[in-house]
Structure 1
């Protein structure tokens, strides 16, 4: 069984931490526009970014995205 990244849950994690996109962007050293692209699904987080985001948001990396199960076809 494999997984792929589904919807980004960053906005939910920000709300839980009472943080807005601009504040999070400042803490992460990126633009608010970049954070918005993550939230809307236009961009995906790198593993390094996700690790640092999870640390700063006090969550697990797997809490940042919906993980969708992808079943491999048996040949």
Structure 2
């Protein structure tokens, strides 16, 4: 989903996967239900924001590639 590279030359999908795994392992033994719920909701919200930004950027790039479609809106 993220094929481009960061400033260090690492593929973003690999960086995100590594960070997600690290967070899961750090929180594996959390027992407080409220803390778990907050973390799940925060993760969901972050995912939603990333998806929205990606859709906006895709639409922007599509409009740049097909400027006549932008005029119809």
TM-score, length-normalised on structure 2? Answer: 0.25
Larger-gyration structure (1/2): 2
Q: Between the two structures, name the one with larger relative contact order (CA 8 Å, sep ≥ 6).
A: 1
- Which has more helix, going by share of residues? 2
The normalised TM-score by structure 1 is: 0.25
Whose strand fraction is larger, Structure 1's or Structure 2's? 1
